A and B are shown apart, each in its own frame.
Chain A
Amino acid sequence: MAAAIEISGLAKSFAHDPGPPVLGAVDLGIEENEFVVLLGRSGCGKTTLLNLVAGLETPSAGRILVGGTPVTGPGGGKGMVFQQGALFPWLTARRNIAFAARNRGVASAEADRLADELLALVGLAGAGHKYPFELSGGMQQRVAIARALALDPKILLMDEPFGALDEITRNEMQDELLRVWAQRRKTVVFVTHSIWEGLILADRILVMAPRPGRFVLERRIDLPRPRRRSDPALIALYDEIWACLRGDA
């Protein structure tokens, strides 16, 4: 079976950006339904890598296959959740989600029904008529996740989706995400700079270093979920990852 995401020799430099490339030659294979976390300090190219997979940026070299087909642009079932939520402020939660479904050809009534179903899935049943500004940061991210799921995506790309939330909400959202992910299995690439977030969520953690952006550490976590932060295996991993991150300063 083809890997869900297959990245080979991927490099990216921006015009008018001197210095080493933002991404060196990166290779990465991600299996179907795998939950991969990209971890690294700000500016090491995590967002750039995600944008390349999403088709929002074009590579300087190398290639990306999603589901065996080369990425030529955004859309086509590559769902993305942004840090700021990026919900359309003029649409209610339900319309935001339906927007995604409508664009892949789902009829209006069916899109509304799907939106309500997804709202219920992310724990927001009954909040469909609310505008984004009426929702808390955590609720907005739930809607953003539901909206990405409405694309019925093959892969879900998440760029620090909980980065703007307070720690309590953030921990809740991690549990929520795992619950949703258990019900709707997807291949997930999740960017964060919180080590614990990575440890709680990931099947596999990849630690990145900057300029050129590259992977410097890869760890598989086979522990069952939900995971406890007091788990000695996680604490050992935490120390190892922290040492690695501190080293690349």
Chain B
Amino acid sequence: MTNIAIVGTGQTAHARRRLDVSQAGLAREAVMEALADAGLTMADIDSVVVASGPAMFGAVNQPEKWLVDALGARFKPVVRVTSGGGTGLAGALAAMNQIKGGVAKRVLVVAYDKLSEGALQASISTLYDPFWGREFAVGIMGFSAAYWRARMDRLGHTEEAAAMVAVKNRANSMLNPKAHVKKEVTVEEVLASKPLCWPIKVLDVPPISDGACAVILAAEGDAEAITSTPAWIRGMAYYSEADNAAHRSMLQSEPLKIAAAKVYRASGVTNPRRQFDVAEVQEPYTCFELSYYEGLGLCPEGGAAELIASGATQMTGDIPVNPSGGCMGANPIGATALIRLAEAAMQVTGKAGAHQIQGAELGLVQAGGGWANLRGVAVVGSTKD
């Protein structure tokens, strides 16, 4: 099978509110940076995949139809893949298939959300079936807090352990020029912060951001001609789980495990903790990062609290997780998954600047969305295999 590489990445200056650009202008900003990174222009791009969160976030239905002018994509194939918070990775997967399937050589993926423009929790609450629980919904915060509470009892994912995730990711954000939340916190401050949906407290929650990310993919042969530092995609998958299937366990995410198993098989990963040099995971709340440690096999089930406490996932640890700061530094929901992929690509090509993990060669990416029932995993490397 054809190997696919990331040949350019770009991100906007993420912010709580960008008043200088429209949704379309925001997406363009990331695209221009990715094109410049790859040394390409839109004329070199065969096809565009737009990924963004639910259209109700921004009051524009099928926003790619508006974005096309800002992307300079007239008369090109433009399609939008939407899959909640993980949509950027789902979009990248669609782009990979376009290249491997022979309908495009170079595909631009652009993911964005401009969350300052809408009523976020009200919007996300419409995820719920109007007949089944929507009136109790708090976006997915009530749900996420509930299953964290359950994992506390069963897997030892304590409030302290989650607070350490907040402390780590906020500290890492200080080194990331694209992150807009620049404030370090302590475990005590997180624990004492205001409960929103207990056990989720305000410092367990990432910011609400305006931001976009763009990634350009190309096939083996072409990729090396475009850049001397391609980041090779060793595997990528995006799995789902029926939201109210019988005996759905939310203690461990089944679709995450299935996706990880498939991608690890494709990329020859048998010992994730040892083989990966760096991981970028999409943590909509601190508690999810703990859960992903286990789902991704970075530690055994029930071992997440110990893993974070050991310091192994710190910048200086043996498996740094979210050197970018993750969602804690910037959280434009629809873009966050693609940001994780771009950050991992930057790491394995030595382009991460102040938050570079020295010598990183193999990176793990995780993303997800919906009702914790859409889960994607990718592996990127500095070499093809």
Are A and B co-members of a single complex? no
Q: Which residues on A are within 8 Å of B, measured CB to CB?
A: none
